[in-house]
Chain A
Amino acid sequence: MDVVNQLQRQFIDYSASLHREGFLDDQFTQLQKLQDDNSPDFVVEVASLFFEDCEKLINNMARALEQQQGVDFKQVDASVHQLKGSSSSIGAMRVKDVCIAFRSFCEAQNRE
């Protein structure tokens, strides 16, 4: 039981720090509230879907950016847009903020 308490405390501390450092925002807290006994793995499931989504989108972006004949910024932008959407739905604030910055680079057609 002690171990469980310890782990719980660690989890709470870790969560709090993620919030403090701006990795997570209120939306994530909302999602946590949606989890209950009927859906005990909700957060894990959504997070997993998010990671899969991220992977796919980042691969798309990498491919688009590596194009020899010229980067298709529209495609990169589309992927970033989707990533921004998903990250904001899950509460991954930092990712979302990075996406916003990224998009302005796309608009400026700035490959660097």
Chain B
Amino acid sequence: MARNGGVAWMRTTDKIDGYDLSTSDTEEVHVLAVDDSLVDRKVIERLLRISSCKVTAVDSGRRALQYLGLDEEIQKKETNGFDGLKVDLIITDYCMPGMTGYELLKKVKESSAFREIPVVIMSSENVIARIDRCLEEGAEDFIVKPVKLSDVKRIIDYTTTELREGEQREGARAKRRGINKRKQREGDDDLSSSPPSTLSSSTSSPSSSIQSATAPSSPSTLDSPTRRLKMTSSE
């Protein structure tokens, strides 16, 4: 694969059929890392590789969208829409010129193809308002830099759990997406008390308890409460 601009490729395999979560050779998580700083990119890349992940590092939000195939200027008409490996997790810096991590987060969450992908934001500034805003927009987690191995391990751990659960939930989720579109915007505080596997059962009971989204946030056990914009309550 050719090297281009700010994109570092590790290796590509032919997993073009997107939802092939049970990968045949390995169960490596594929992470898309986005950071404008070369030093930070190098560090995060290493942290991820040591945690047995495949990494694609890019230097801007724009390039990240291009990689995903979401860039408006570059129309990707593939039905599966993946430019390479399926991305299991996006980890991005907040402060970047051009498109901030927050804007990238929004774009990912707005896309139907990619909103399921958990997005983690990194920032050197520990600003509560910023953290809240990101979590509200659907970020999985918010890490304060400098990033340590323990941070990365934690994220990979629950992403891997997510993926495994995802196989079970996939069908349920698809159904839920249609019915409960508005629910995506609602809080998921309940999740913290229930183990992730309960999600599949939640579809059968359209309870009044607000269940969160399909989307990214399920890993409940973490201390990052994902709060959503409350639109309506149950159906």
Chain A residues packing against B (C-beta within 8 Å): 27, 30-31, 33-34, 39, 42, 45-46, 49-50, 52-53, 81-82, 84-86, 88-91
Contacts and interface: CB of A to CB of B under 8 A. Distances in A.
A34 B149 contact: yes
A90 B149 contact: no
Nearest to A46: B42
A46 B148 CA distance: 15
Secondary structure class of chain A's binding surface, majority of residues: helix
A22 to B, nearest CB: 16
Given A33-B149, A34-B149, A86 B37 contact: yes
A46 B43 contact: yes
B37 A34 contact: no
A25 B73 CA distance: 44
Contacts of B148: 27, 30
Given A30-B148, A81-B95, A91-B146, A39 B46 contact: yes
Contacts of B71: none
Contact of A53 (B38, B47, B50): B38
A86 B39 contact: yes
Interface residues of B, number: 17
Secondary structure class of chain B's binding surface, majority of residues: helix
A83 B24 CA distance: 43
Contacts of A86: 37, 39-40
Interface in B25-50: 37-40, 42-43, 46-47, 49-50
B207 interface: no
B43 A90 contact: yes
Contacts of A88: 124, 145-146
A21 B146 CA distance: 20
Given A42-B46, A81-B95, A89 B146 contact: yes
Contacts of B146: 27, 30, 88-89, 91
A30 B145 CA distance: 13
A18 B124 CA distance: 23
Contacts of A50: 39
